[in-house]
Amino acid sequence: MSFFSDENTRLAEEIIKRYPKARSAMIPLLHLAQEQEGWVTEAAMAEIAELVGTSSAEVLGTCSFYEMFKREPVGKYLINICTTMSCALMGAADLMQHAEKALGVKSGGTTEDGMFTLEGAECQAACTEAPCLQVNYRHRYRVTADEFDAMLAELSTPDPGVPEHGVLSQIRQHIPEKNTVGALPPEEVNAPPVWLNTEEDQS
């Protein structure tokens, strides 16, 4: 049984072709795996290792390095409340406490219905808008307790305008065949990369 769905297997093969070395596709494939399941399962890591020709341990090493690859199930909506300096000064701790009460879980936990996961996070580069948070990595600025409750209500509606955790847009971009690097390792590539070739565009 393969982990990736048929469609994603096709996509994975296309992604691998974008890189001169298959191993370079490891992170995009981890994203793809996370999109499929909402988190990165062990089966996913093992299959990616096979696809890119390395060991599962190496995929685990890469995957576990990045906070945004979740190796345990998370809710449909991942709420990251910034707890770094500016937000801390502007009431992040109060907001976190409110969020914990409102969701009934501690920071790091997932609600029983699998809707929300609450996490504290480091600076989200929106210090002028403190306190801020992200829902599936989409910013919400100057969040008050009331706004937080309203946000939860909004997210509980059928179509809140925020895609589920793991959904990607970048990975599905279509790269025309002529622009892929191909399966050649760098040392064997003699011609300049296709995207450097501007002559064709000028003509």
Partner 1 sequence: MSDSVPNEVSVNINGAEVRAKAGEMLIAAADRAGVHIPRFCYHERMSSVGMCRMCLVDVDTGRGPMLQPSCMVPVAEGMSVDTQSEDTKRAQEGILEFLLVNHPLDCPVCDKGGECPLQDQTMAYGPGESRFVEEKRHYEKPIPISDLVHLDRERCILCDRCTRFADEIAGDPLIHFTERGNSTQVLTFPDEPFSSYFSGNTVQICPVGALTAAPYRFKARPWDLDQVESTCTTCSMGCRTAVQSSRNELVRYLGVDIESVNHGWLCDKGRFNFEATNSEERLTVPLIRDPNDERQLLGSDWGSALANAAEAILDAGSDGIGIIGGSRLTNEDAYAWSKLARSIIRTDNLDAQLGDGLPAELVHSLPPATIADACEADTVLVVGPDLKEELAILHLRLRGAATKGHTKVVEINAAPSGCEPYVERAIRCGSGEAAKYLGEILNSDDDLATRLREGSVVAVVGRSSMAESDHSSIAVAALIRDELPHATFLTALRRGNVRGALDMGLAPGVLPGRTAIDNPSSALDDIWGYTPSMKGLDTTGMLQAAAEGKIRTLVLLGADPLSDFPDRNLAAEAIQRAETVISLDNFLTASSAQADIILPTTAYGEQGGTTTNLEGRISRLTQKITPPGSVRDDWMIATELAWRLGGDLNLTSKEQIWREIEQVAPSHAGVTVERIMSEEAREGILVQESSVEYIFPSVQEPPIADGYGLRLISGRKLWDASTTTSMSPSLRPLAEAPVLKVHPTDLQRLGILSGSDVRVISTRSTENLKAVADESLERGTALLPFNQPGFGANRFIDATAAVNDIRIETL
**Contact residues: partner 1, CB under 8 A:** 42, 45-46, 54-61, 64-67
What is the distance between the alpha carbons of residues 91 and 99, in angstroms, rounded to a whole number?
12
Rg (CA), the chain: 20
Report the C-alpha dihedral over residues 150, 152, 155, 157, rounded to 10 degrees. -70
What is the distance between the alpha carbons of residues 58 and 41, in angstroms, rounded to a whole number?
15
- Least distance (Å) from partner 1 to the CB of residue 44? 12
- Least distance (Å) from partner 1 to the CB of residue 186? 17
Nearer to partner 1, 44 or 132 (CB): 44
Residue 115, phi then psi, degrees to nearest 5:
-85, -45
- Least distance (Å) from partner 1 to the CB of residue 148? 29
- Least distance (Å) from partner 1 to the CB of residue 60? 5
Residue 195, phi then psi, degrees to nearest 5:
-70, -10
What is the distance between the alpha carbons of residues 50 and 105, in angstroms, rounded to a whole number?
37
Nearer to partner 1, 56 or 84 (CB): 56
What is the distance between the alpha carbons of residues 125 and 135, in angstroms, rounded to a whole number?
15
Nearer to partner 1, 107 or 180 (CB): 107
- Least distance (Å) from partner 1 to the CB of residue 126? 23
Amino acid type, 88: A
Looking at the DSSP bridge assignments, the partners of residue 77 are 116
Nearer to partner 1, 56 or 111 (CB): 56
Using DSSP's 3-state secondary structure scheme, residue 82 falls into strand
- Least distance (Å) from partner 1 to the CB of residue 3? 14
Nearer to partner 1, 2 or 179 (CB): 2
Nearer to partner 1, 24 or 54 (CB): 54
Contact of 92 with 86, CB cutoff 8 Å: no
